[in-house]
Structure 1
Amino acid sequence: MNVPRELPTEKCLDLLSAGVVGRVAICTPDGPRIVPVNYAVVRGAVVFRTDPDSVLGQRRWPELLAFEVDHLDYERHRGWSVVAVGTGECVEDPDTLAVIRRDWEPRPWAGGERPLHIRLAWTELSGRQLGGPWSSTEEMPVRRTV
């Protein structure tokens, strides 16, 4: 029987930092929404870009967000999930934007302009894993590369 286990913070940060696509969860006047985004971890925060006219772009920042990244191995009935929770804010400061662009600019896959940068400085970072053992390539088959 697979028993879920809590991941240590360092492992959560490793998995979160290596990812490329995650999901942002937000409450809207029309109810909860989950939006997939390309992201980067820059100096202890999740950063993603969006369109100002999108569900995320129309928020009044700062706003409480949850961000999740995971991997599932359907064949072996195992997987892991990391969740970051904290306050998201719109990044407009030119110096902060320069740091983001220098360290790792998020690269949206979706077409169109995505000029709005959102930064989620998490106050909670947690993760769970089911099954194992895992090799690094099984754990995160698509890893961020330079």
Structure 2
Amino acid sequence: MDQETSRRPADGPAANRVRPTRQLDRTEALRLLATVSLGRLVFTHRALPAIRPTSHHVDGEDVLVRVDEGVSRASLAPTPGEPGLVLGYEADAIDACTHLGWSVVVIGHAELIVNRDEAERLAALLDPWRDRPMADVLRIRSELVTGFRLGS
């Protein structure tokens, strides 16, 4: 076996099977999204696509994320009182060996939480997985929720 082949996570018959894909409805997609705490925030930075890993919390049909004071804050946070930027958020749980799992994407306008008490309360719901200070909480108002499940 060559070195490239030995690094593949799923060799053998299971790796070569075609998996059926099933679309998720909005309710199921949000339910699955709430079962994990990490995902990827998708936004535009200097006119280019940018993706950052971050923690999230599902609050009803909205997604809460924390942003730091660096590039994320400058690129993501709308000015209070102005319409929010359109952002994407993606999370998944796909097994590397079986290739079974799901993926969910939420698209919506971002809203900076400006009330400090509310921001602190919501920030406490988010897993502080990074050692970098997280300055603000953004609420993504889910307008489009899509997802799929990779079947067995």
Shift of 1:64: 0.8
SS at match of 1:56: helix
Letter in 2 for 1:58: A
Shift of 1:81: 0.3
SS at match of 2:74: coil
TM-score, normalised relative to structure 2: 0.76
Distance, in Å, in 1 between the alignment partners of 2:128 and 2:49 is: 22
Provide the aligned C-alpha RMSD in A: 1.8
Residue of structure 2 in register with 1:79 after alignment: 101
1:131 equivalenced with 2:146 (yes/no): no
Counting aligned pairs with the same residue, the percent is 26
Letter in 2 for 1:106: L
1:113/1:98 CA distance change after superposition, 3 Å: closer
Q: What count of residue pairs does the alignment treat as equivalent?
A: 129
Q: Which runs of 5+ in 1 are unaligned?
A: 133-146
Residue of structure 1 in register with 2:134 after alignment: 114
TM-score, normalised relative to structure 1: 0.79
Could you tell me which of 46, 51, 61 is aligned with 1:34? Answer: 51
| Off by >3 Å, runs of 4+ in structure 1 | none
Q: Which has the larger radius of gyration?
A: 2
Q: Which runs of 5+ in 2 are unaligned?
A: 1-17, 79-83
SS at match of 2:69: coil
Distance, in Å, in 2 between the alignment partners of 1:97 and 1:13 is: 22
Q: How does 1:32-111 map to 2 (within 5 A)?
A: 32-53=49-70, 55-59=71-75, 60-61=77-78, 62-94=84-116, 96-97=118-119, 100=122, 105-111=125-131
